[in-house]
Chains A and B, each alone.
Chain A
Amino acid sequence: MGLRKVAVVGAGMTQFVRRAQETPRELVFKAVRAALDSCELSIKDIDAVCLGTAPDTFDGVHMNGEYLSDGAGAFGKPYIRSYVGGGTGVFVPIQGWYHVASGLFDLVLVVAEEKMSSYYPHAQGAFLTIFDHTTERPLKPNLLWIFALEMNRYMSTYGITKEEIAQVSVLHKRNAADHPAALLGDKNITVKDVLDSEVLAWPVQRLDVSPVSDGAVAIILASEHVARRITDKPIWIEGVGWSLDTAYWTNRDLAYPRYVEVAARMAYEMAGIKEPRKEIHIAEPYDPFDYKALHHIEGLQLADRGKAIELYLSGSARRDGNLPICPSGGLLGVGNPIAAAGLMKIAELFWQLRGEADKRQVAGSPQKGIAQAWGDLMQVGTVVIMGK
């Protein structure tokens, strides 16, 4: 296709917290500074900047990308902000990838930020306008509804129990206990804790959900010849994919995310992966809710429909299993500052594939990993495949 190879050469992130005293701009600055420091670059070395942040509503600032730009070191440089809802965190590295793959730039800074705590009293309010203004909003829906409706449909279609799904939350939150930046890591959490937690919108309970969070993550992308000057351990972006389903969400079967499948097939084809279940060694599927991880593993073709739970029940999903899933701790454990949470998964694959994930390091010598995010009215799928 005439595309250049693109490597990730550095990554950094802030802690994820419930309420940061830092402004959104300061969050962005901290993550960018950490990413630059990790590969000993200065902002002057950067050719272009891609920034991802989810709705302007969180900050109450119109054209939030422009407001954040100073924290991203973007002035005087080609700069663009992308936004595809919850899918943003895995879309913004794709955007950075084509900035470099196209030959336009050699060094691109990719940063994703979210500060959800400013929206008062609860960040969920920022999503009330996601529903159709004439046919749905008069019913006064809230965001939890769509997750609860999708989860119930998923469980019922395949006969999966709440007890089984709780295993996802338990594994991810336990994994997060080893992440220095995590908000909700818990080594001792049990299935009973999840099942005993407050019912929000049945079948969704408190511990089925990731926490509202503030935080930022940044990575540095480089073309091949520049990457080799910066590091002897570049991690390559080998495949990317993104796809959208129809916004008429009540007209499609919510049991299966076909838009994730389309995005995944695009990425697998680009990466030359024929048998993802053998060739992918680490998966970071998007897990804002525990059932979503299962849903997305199936969309990514890493399990048959309705069978993703078996990876958890058999132990395959653990860090020492055949297919470690969310070794970072995921959104359920590390936290869910929306756009930043997706890019956190990319940073995790970078550290895992370099063997730099410290206590979170998965067993063996993983060669390839996949990260995925999802968003909007259950319709956006974004996928990135990375390899050594």
Chain B
Amino acid sequence: MVTGNRYRALNSLPESAFHDGKLLYTFDQLNTHYAWDCGVAIGEYLAKLREGIIIGATCSHCHRTMVPPRLFCEYCFRPIKNFIPLQDTGTILTFSLCYVTWDVQRIEIPEIPAVIAIDGASENHGILHKIGEVDPHAVHIGMRVKAVWKTPEERSGDITDILYFRPE
């Protein structure tokens, strides 16, 4: 079908070449170990998660309360000094029922990622997390949810100290 001098045909490799082993297969392992700094604001966020508290940051100029917290307001471009505790409840802004892994393997019981607007933060200010303890088909935008925390002993100062959010 490729015609004319403006298009160039390619040599296409069929998927069967993988199954038939008709390939030179090289395995290479990249060194991808990192010691990331979480930063000052997210460091505080994680420390408070360990205590079972979600914190946000308020800009003294535009009065926006944002979560996750940050050291500067990207709109006003001013530093932020105020971190305040928010609720561990919120509203689902959007969600998905995900039936595949990153390498597109099927999963039977869907994962339910969602953006959850956290009570106490400004409008439409949410975080990415997951929804659990719910019939997937009952999840809807606008649904009220509450964080389900690990026990204090299990918490490590990580976003996964919240296991998931469940219907309130």
CB contact list, A24-58 vs B, under 8 A: 27, 30-31, 33-35, 37-38
Q: Within 8 Å CB of B3, what residues of A?
A: 180
Q: A122 vs B105: C-alpha distance in the bound complex, in angstroms?
A: 10
Q: A38 vs B34: C-alpha distance in the bound complex, in angstroms?
A: 48
CB contact list, A215-256 vs B, under 8 A: 215, 246, 248, 250-254
Q: A148 vs B98: C-alpha distance in the bound complex, in angstroms?
A: 8
Number of interface residues of B (CB under 8 A): 57
Would you call A13 and B7 a contact (CB within 8 A)? yes
CB contact list, B22-70 vs A, under 8 A: 28, 30, 34, 36, 38-39, 42, 45-46, 66-68, 70
Contact residue among B34, B66, B96 (Cβ-Cβ distance under 8 Å from A152): B96
Q: A203 vs B98: C-alpha distance in the bound complex, in angstroms?
A: 9
Q: Is the interface of B mostly helix, strand, loop or mixed?
A: loop
Tell me, rounded to whole Å, the shortest Cβ–Cβ distance linking B72 to chain A. Answer: 12
Q: Is the interface of A mostly helix, strand, loop or mixed?
A: mixed
For A129-164 the 0/1 string (1 means CB < 8 A from B) is 001111110110111110011101100100000000
Would you call A148 and B159 a contact (CB within 8 A)? no
Would you call B10 and A149 a contact (CB within 8 A)? no
Would you call A20 and B13 a contact (CB within 8 A)? yes
Tell me, rounded to whole Å, the shortest Cβ–Cβ distance linking B4 to chain A. Answer: 7
CB contact list, B90-105 vs A, under 8 A: 93-104
Tell me, rounded to whole Å, the shortest Cβ–Cβ distance linking A98 to chain B. Answer: 25
Q: A117 vs B101: C-alpha distance in the bound complex, in angstroms?
A: 18
Q: A15 near B: Cβ within 8 Å?
A: yes
Q: A240 vs B148: C-alpha distance in the bound complex, in angstroms?
A: 48
Q: A20 vs B98: C-alpha distance in the bound complex, in angstroms?
A: 30
Q: Within 8 Å CB of A248, what residues of B?
A: 66, 68, 70, 74
Contact residue among A12, A18, A145, A156 (Cβ-Cβ distance under 8 Å from B12): A18
Q: A253 vs B4: C-alpha distance in the bound complex, in angstroms?
A: 45
Number of interface residues of A (CB under 8 A): 64
Tell me, rounded to whole Å, the shortest Cβ–Cβ distance linking A238 to chain B. Answer: 23
Contact residue among B2, B4, B36 (Cβ-Cβ distance under 8 Å from A134): B36
Tell me, rounded to whole Å, the shortest Cβ–Cβ distance linking B164 to chain A. Answer: 9
Would you call A12 and B6 a contact (CB within 8 A)? yes
Q: B138 near A: Cβ within 8 Å?
A: no
Q: B1 near A: Cβ within 8 Å?
A: yes
Q: A13 vs B8: C-alpha distance in the bound complex, in angstroms?
A: 6
Q: B84 near A: Cβ within 8 Å?
A: no
Q: A180 vs B7: C-alpha distance in the bound complex, in angstroms?
A: 8
Would you call A124 and B103 a contact (CB within 8 A)? yes
For B94-134 the 0/1 string (1 means CB < 8 A from A) is 11111111111000001001110000000011111110000
Give the interface centre of B10, B97, B128, B141 by most chain A CB atoms within 10 Å. B10
A135 touching B42 in the complex, CB below 8 Å, given contacts A17-B12, A124-B104, A141-B128: yes
Q: A261 vs B23: C-alpha distance in the bound complex, in angstroms?
A: 46
For A105-122 the 0/1 string (1 means CB < 8 A from B) is 000000000000100011
Q: A214 near B: Cβ within 8 Å?
A: yes
Would you call A152 and B128 a contact (CB within 8 A)? no
Beyond A37-B5, A135-B127, 13 extra complex contacts between A and B, CB < 8 Å: A14-B7, A19-B13, A30-B8, A134-B39, A134-B42, A142-B101, A145-B113, A153-B94, A156-B94, A202-B98, A202-B110, A248-B66, A248-B68
